[in-house]
Amino acid sequence: MTPTRKRRLKTLTGASSVISASNDTTPSAGAKRAVELARKAEAQKITGLFTADLLHIDPAGLAGTAGIQEPIIALAALSQATSEIGLIATVSTTFHHPYNLARQIGTLDHASGGRAGWNAVTSSVGEENFGETLPSPEERYERAAEFIEIVNALYDANERDAARRKGSGAVGIDPAKFHRIDYRGRYFSVAGPLNVPPLPQRRPVQFQAGQSEAGVTVGARYAEVVYTSQPKLKDAIAFATDLRRRAASFGRGNNLPFIMNSFHSVIGESDADVARRLREKHERIDYEQGRLKLADMLGGDLDLSGLPLDRPLPETLLPDVTSINGRRGRVEIFRRYARQGLTLRELIIQAKETGHWSVAGTPEQLADAIEERVKSGVLDVLSLHGLGNPDQEDLLLKGLLPELRRRQLIDTDYVGDDFRSNLELPPLAPPTVSQASRTA
């Protein structure tokens, strides 16, 4: 009998922007660079490409280039230049509609041959662009739960052979095999059926980001991969324990949901090289803009101007998390940092990493940190940085990744035929009547 293969850590990297710039020599320069980097990631057997998103331009420039392209369209373009790497689009459940999203991501799954995933987020900005006021976090997550239920029901309702290839090469459909879901909830009413035939994966892979109380519950109930910011190992252990306890209360098994961290690294060739790179990185920080960035991490309604950089932040300035209508999980991380006595300068440095896991070291030292989390059972999917960065790419591709392979922590090749199997997710449960309809 063949022994069961041990699942290895899966890796993601950010998809590059396909956007053209005013000083490009050709309008396709952005798309060509994005294709080049996507193919490079695929050659390295990176499991997936991830796209973040925002629904506005940050007037202070704190978010960089996040949100300057529509993720699904960008990934559809990259799907035609790659063949195995997964494609994950971040989508707001607050300002999108589940039927449209099901059509868009479903079509991406078809176009890519079964490589689509979507990351459900509840936006804390951008309401002005939709003529709405921002709902409370609790309402946003209630809406997200309905949204995900509807999308899954739409995908599950249609029969597998609803579409057939004709001898001519065209596709024919049998309308009798497309079924309604008749979902009526507090936020959405969707009859169905979905007019996109059954997907190669049946469902795209479900990612979810959010670490407030309500966000963790949604992830525990619906997500297959939860994207979380846990800068310290003890925080990661506490989060994983809580998440899995909640998942078990919903009757979930198979170690679901998987846990994903973003790994913000500074890679150097030696301890001295690491120290130099870290020092130069900190010297490039604009600490005045950094005050704005830190204020944003703490909920946005703070004035940190004039405070001394090398003294701790007065506790009287720290907001009550329950008063925040934005990213409460991120606020809690920076409240903890401030209460640990970090100076304003140190808090600004942490804010540059937006509360994510951040490590500086040689490839071997970074691999040690990653291996520690894997062996602690708190890390299943890792988002790596450095691809496309001239200062770090070589050290990532020729240093860190080979070291992780040497330790047999990551895959040396794709292990399946679609994104689900490459992530080594357990098989989806067969659809049931209860999954395909609901009246709230």
CB 123 within 8 A of CB 94: yes
Region 244-269 average pLDDT: 95
pLDDT at position 279 is: 93
Asked if residue 229 belongs to a known ligand binding site, the reply is no
Region 182-191 average pLDDT: 98
Region 347-365 average pLDDT: 88
428 — pLDDT class (breaks 50, 70, 90): very high
CB 298 within 8 A of CB 334: yes
Whether residue 6 has pLDDT greater than 80: yes
Asked if residue 90 belongs to a known ligand binding site, the reply is yes
Whether residue 304 has pLDDT greater than 90: no
pLDDT at position 2 is: 44
Least confident window among 325-334, 372-381, 416-425: 325-334
394 — pLDDT class (breaks 50, 70, 90): very high
More confident call, 234 vs 346:
234
Least confident window among 206-220, 314-328, 385-399, 410-424: 314-328
Whether residue 330 has pLDDT greater than 90: no
Q: For residue range 282-302, what is the model confidence (pLDDT) as tens digits? A: 999 888 888 888 888 887 778
Q: For residue range 121-176, what is the model confidence (pLDDT) as tens digits? A: 998 888 899 999 988 888 999 999 999 999 999 999 999 999 999 999 999 999 99
Give the rounded percent of residues in the chain with a pLDDT score beyond 90: 70
pLDDT at position 143 is: 97
Tokens standing for residue 24:
């490009």
Alpha helices in 270-409 (DSSP H): 271-283, 287-297, 328-339, 344-352, 363-375, 393-395, 401-406
Q: Which residues pair with 164 in a beta bridge?
A: 172
Q: If you average pLDDT over each of 120-129, 312-321, 397-406, which comes out highest?
A: 397-406
Whether residue 438 has pLDDT greater than 60: no
CB 205 within 8 A of CB 117: yes
CB 82 within 8 A of CB 44: no
24 — pLDDT class (breaks 50, 70, 90): very high
How far is 38 from 44, CA to CA, in rounded Å? 10
Stated pTM of the model: 0.91
pLDDT at position 188 is: 98
Tokens standing for residue 10:
């899966």
Q: According to CATH, what is the number of the domain 10-20+28-269+362-423?
A: 3.20.20.30
Whether residue 429 has pLDDT greater than 80: yes
How far is 205 from 168, CA to CA, in rounded Å? 32
Asked if residue 222 belongs to a known ligand binding site, the reply is no
Asked if residue 123 belongs to a known ligand binding site, the reply is no
Domain ranges of the chain: 10-20+28-269+362-423, 272-353
Q: Is the bond into 197 cis (omega within 30 degrees of 0)?
A: no
436 — pLDDT class (breaks 50, 70, 90): very low
Whether residue 439 has pLDDT greater than 70: no
Region 259-277 average pLDDT: 96
CB 46 within 8 A of CB 384: yes
pLDDT at position 434 is: 46
pLDDT at position 435 is: 45
Whether residue 388 has pLDDT greater than 50: yes
How far is 403 from 102, CA to CA, in rounded Å? 39
